[in-house]
Amino acid sequence: MLLPAAYQQLVQALDQLPAVGPRAAARLAQHLLNSDAGAALLQALQRAGAEVTQCRHCRCYSNADLCGLCGNEQRDRTRWLVVAGVDELQQAEQVGWRGLYFVLHGLLAPMSGRGPNQLGLDQLQQRVATAARPLQITLALESTAEGCATAAFIASMLAAAGVELVLQDWTEWLTLQEQA
């Protein structure tokens, strides 16, 4: 017997999520349909879709045009940290970073369709162009092929911008901050 098309569509949509294969997608779909988890997920997705946006300065998730970090006058505006995602931003906050951020939401991966536009690099370039000097920008990305390619791309993009660039491995940066 053929299962309903709507069920198949739900499985396919879940299968599109990162790190979820077809078998896990089917199990998730069944769990969502057999429990209250589906209704809770739907509600959370609708709320996030309506309320969560990206800060126009740092691209962190925010429920306003400018996030609480960028709007905070106490933050050190002469030092920016470029991170791969919001998890890294949260870790940097925990180890006491007091500068500003730029969140890439990923690393360059042309084969997976993630180019400079997806990482908001034009936005970073514009923000750097209009920011006050002196300005130090630390690129703290992981030392994988994608991380190194992303750091190299940003470094060359900002080479003539008149800012001090610091390239550091993410884990190394975090360890150094924890020790400081």
Q: How far is the CB of 142 from Zn ion (least distance, A)?
A: 22
**Could you tell me the two tokens for 116?**
């400079």
Q: Hey, which residues between 53 and 112 contact Zn ion (CB under 5 A)?
A: 55, 57-58, 60, 67, 70
Rounded Cα gap, residues 109 and 121, in angstroms: 14
Binding residues for Zn ion, how many (CB under 5 A)? Answer: 6
Residue type, position 91, single letter: Q
Q: Do 154 and 124 form a contact (C-beta atoms < 8 A)?
A: yes
Rounded Cα gap, residues 106 and 64, in angstroms: 22
Binding mask 1-40 for Zn ion (x = CB under 5 A): ----------------------------------------
How far is Cα of residue 67 from the mean position of the Cα atoms in its chain?
14
State the angle between helix axes of 22-34 and 37-51 in degrees (0 to 180), rounded to the nearest 10: 100
Q: How far is the CB of 23 from Zn ion (least distance, A)?
A: 39
Q: Hey, which residues between 129 and 158 contact Zn ion (CB under 5 A)?
A: none
Q: Which is nearer to Zn ion, 56 or 114 (CB)?
A: 56
Q: Which is nearer to Zn ion, 80 or 170 (CB)?
A: 80
Q: How far is the CB of 41 from Zn ion (least distance, A)?
A: 27
Using CA atoms in the order 113, 28, 51, 75, what is the torsion angle rounded to 10 degrees?
-70
Only segment of 19-27, 33-41, 48-56, 123-131 that touches Zn ion (CB under 5 A): 48-56
